[in-house]
Amino acid sequence: MTTDVNLLLAVSGMLFALGLVGVIVRRNLLVMLMFLELMLNGVLLSLAVFTHLLGAEAGAVLMFLVFTVAAAEIAIAVPIILLLVRSGRTLDPTAYSGLKG
């Protein structure tokens, strides 16, 4: 059991790190969005592990809630990117740095 937990946590950390590196390195908005989801999944995996470990079943419910919200986020983020691309003709985020507050 202990090794399982460690392994699962390591996988969670790696997923998160991979996602972060991807967000930093890639220059494509859609790909960055995917890596963002990867980061989120890493975090959720750790949440699932700890929920299991502590026997707090409410955590599982929270997890599904986060999944739902994340899906909704994507549903908003993708149309925004589509609109950006329609006006800017590129997926490179540096082209849109003029949007800063």
Residue 23 to residue 42: CA distance in whole angstroms: 14
Stretch in the footprint of other proteins (CB under 8 A) among 2-10, 17-25, 60-68, 80-88? 17-25
CB 92 within 8 A of CB 30: no
Closer to other proteins by Cβ: residue 48 or 84: 84
Total residues binding other proteins (CB under 8 A): 13
Can residue 77 be called a binding residue for other proteins (CB under 8 A)?
A: no
Of the candidates 19, 23, 16, 18, which has an alpha carbon nearest to the alpha carbon of residue 93? 23
DSSP string covering 10-29 = HHHHHHHHHHHHHHHH---H
Shortest Å distance, C-beta 7 to other proteins? 20
Residues that bind other proteins (CB under 8 A): 20, 23-24, 27, 32, 93-94, 96-101
